[in-house]
Amino acid sequence: MSTPIFPNYIDGAWVEGPTFENRNPADTSEVVGLHGKGSAEDIQRAADAAQSALPTWSAMSGPARGALLYKIADILDRKFEQISADMTREEGKTLPEAKGEVRRSINIFRYFAGEGSRMAGVMAPSERDRVHMFALRKPVGVVGLITPWNFPSAIPAWKLAPALICGNTVVMKPASAAPLSAWRIIEACHEAGVPKGVVNFVGGSGGTLGAAIVNAKPIKAISFTGSCEIGNWIHTEASKRHLRIQLEMGGKNPTIVLADADFGSAVENCVNATFFSTGQKCTATSRVIVEEGIYDKFVAAVVERTKKLKVGNGMQAGIDIGPCVDEGQMDTVLRYIEIGRKEAGEPLTGGHRLTGGDYDKGYFVEPTVFANVTEDMVIAREEIFGPVMAILKARDFQHAMQLANGSDFGLSASLQTTNLSRMFEYIYGIEAGLVTVNLPSAGVEYQLPFGGSKDSSFGPKEQGPAALEFYSDHKTVYIKY
């Protein structure tokens, strides 16, 4: 069977041209597909097409745009099994995880479709006689969406759906490591009959296309999710053109485990948050901070549980953890494990690339647990983005909070406790945009604002009603009658 080709999509047409390979990280002999490798000129054409489509799309009523978003959701729903399997094959996460993500993408389109019938502005009484005043929402214009590989469907969905419902037109650049899941959403837009030019999709290297997106004149806003390094670069460059920007970046997320926690569920939550999706979630736990009194018992239980995790090809039943997304990411994880060895000693479990048999086909790393980690160590400070847990010891709750907040990042955080007062002290005192209690630090829903604080994020939050703040502007109107 020949390798399928997934071309770029500009001005309502599939564009033939150079391609790059999308390989399965669990079995690198499989090429999942060939994707359109766009150029700076393609970005410009896409931005121009989006600009031309803007007047008609933004003039369409919110409910009419919503009807198209419902159609997109229905198309994705019909292809649910195929799109989920595509995701496992291109990104490596397990099939149940992929299904959960595709379900979320579908729900996101339905949620924002309904938003088209609300889209409320602001109305207030005037101080002046016979003056009627209100502020209505209007779109920002052409928006650039740059997405990462770790949630290759949900993140494109949670950027694209609110952008469209607010009346914007779009140029999307997916991650090169996993472009197919986003491509499936664009395919659904095409099949749903979204007018030409409203949605444009240009794959290819971020290093080549990034500057073109930031500099394309029609683009008025950029929503980016990815590393701090690239996000900070976009911040600098986009500021020169006064672009509206939204940046969601890295994390070093803590889970605090207090001595009064429900022990079994605390162990389960820490293992889930650290290792599921191969630790490649921006909200994954990578620092576990345990109160002294239960430290030894907790470390022993986590190690025992971690040893039971099954690593392998996520298409197979019973697998808990898939591969790293590519060789570069695996090398980064292995490099941090070596740093951890020097800093904290031999890991209590894991610590190697998995080899032999089917493991040789992909980028598999053992789930790894380091104990006796201190706050000054590199593995306690830098994002690893892989299946590595660093366990720190805290004297008491206050010390645990101090350790948790002692990071430049502030994306997500979790507390395991049964103490109500501690819970509220933590909720108000923890420096993070997403806060969980007695749940894993990862696992968010689309109905509420999403995003971090400190160096993890910049600009308005994503998802829920907050998304409208980024993707729309207010126009304030005064009428004398």
Q: Which residues are part of the catalytic machinery?
A: 248, 282
Q: What is the DSSP string of 235-265?
A: HHHHHHTT-EEEEE----EEEEE-TTS-HHH
Q: Match 């400070």 to its residue by tokens.
A: 381
Helix or strand run (H / E) with residue 31:
strand 27-36
SS3 state of residue 13: strand
Largest Cα–Cα separation, the chain: 82
Q: Which stretch binds ligand NAP (CB under 6 A): 56-64, 94-102, 148-156, 265-273?
A: 148-156
Work out whether 265 is an interface residue with ligand NAP (CB under 6 A): no
Shortest Å, Cβ 253 to ligand NAP: 9
B/e letters for 1-27, b = 16+ CB within 10 Å, e = fewer, are eeeeebbbbbbbeebeeebeebbbbbb
Looking at 173, 190, 393, 422, which residue binds ligand NAP (CB under 6 A)?
A: 173
Q: Which two tokens stand for residue 146?
A: 């740059």
By beta carbon distance, the residue nearest ligand NAP is: 210
Please tell me whether residue 148 binds ligand NAP under the rule CB under 6 A. Answer: yes
- Sign, Cα dihedral of 465, 466, 472, 477: positive
Question: Is the distance from CB of 91 to CB of 152 less than 8 angstroms?
Answer: yes
Cα(466)–Cα(352) distance, integer angstroms: 42
Q: Which is nearer to ligand NAP, 174 or 350 (CB)?
A: 174
Based on CB atoms, which residue is closest to ligand NAP, 207 or 318?
207
Q: Segment contacting ligand NAP (CB under 6 A): 27-35, 224-232, 311-319, 394-402? A: 224-232
By rule CB under 6 A, what string of x and - marks binding of each residue 401-430 to ligand NAP?
A: ----------x-------------------
CB of 348 to ligand NAP, least distance (A): 25
Note whether 210 binds ligand NAP by CB under 6 A.
Answer: yes
Pick the closer one to ligand NAP by CB: 198 or 384: 384
Structure tokens given for 207: 């290093």
Which residues in the 227-256 window bind ligand NAP by CB under 6 A?
227, 230, 233-234, 248-251
Residues 289-318 that bind ligand NAP (CB under 6 A): none
Closest CA to 212 of 457, 390, 43, 334: 43
Should residue 362 be labelled a site residue for ligand NAP when binding is judged by CB under 6 A?
no
Kindly state the smallest distance separating residue 219's Cβ from ligand NAP, in Å: 12
Judged by CB under 6 A, which stretch of 18-26, 187-195, 225-233, 334-342 contacts ligand NAP? 225-233
Nearer to ligand NAP, 140 or 230 (CB): 230
452 binds ligand NAP (CB under 6 A): yes
Name the one range near ligand NAP by CB under 6 A: 35-43, 175-183, 285-293, 395-403. 175-183
The set of long-range contacts for 14-20, using a CB threshold of 8 Å and a minimum separation of 24, is 15/42, 17/42, 20/176, 20/203, 20/204
Q: Is 92 helix (H, G, I), strand (E, B) or coil?
A: coil
CA separation (Å) from 92 to 89, 387, 388, 467?
A: 6, 13, 17, 29
Q: Considering beta carbons, is residue 32 or 301 the nearer one to ligand NAP?
A: 32
Footprint on this chain of ligand NAP (rule: CB under 6 A): 146-151, 173, 175-177, 205-207, 210, 225-227, 230, 233-234, 248-251, 282, 383, 385, 411, 452, 456
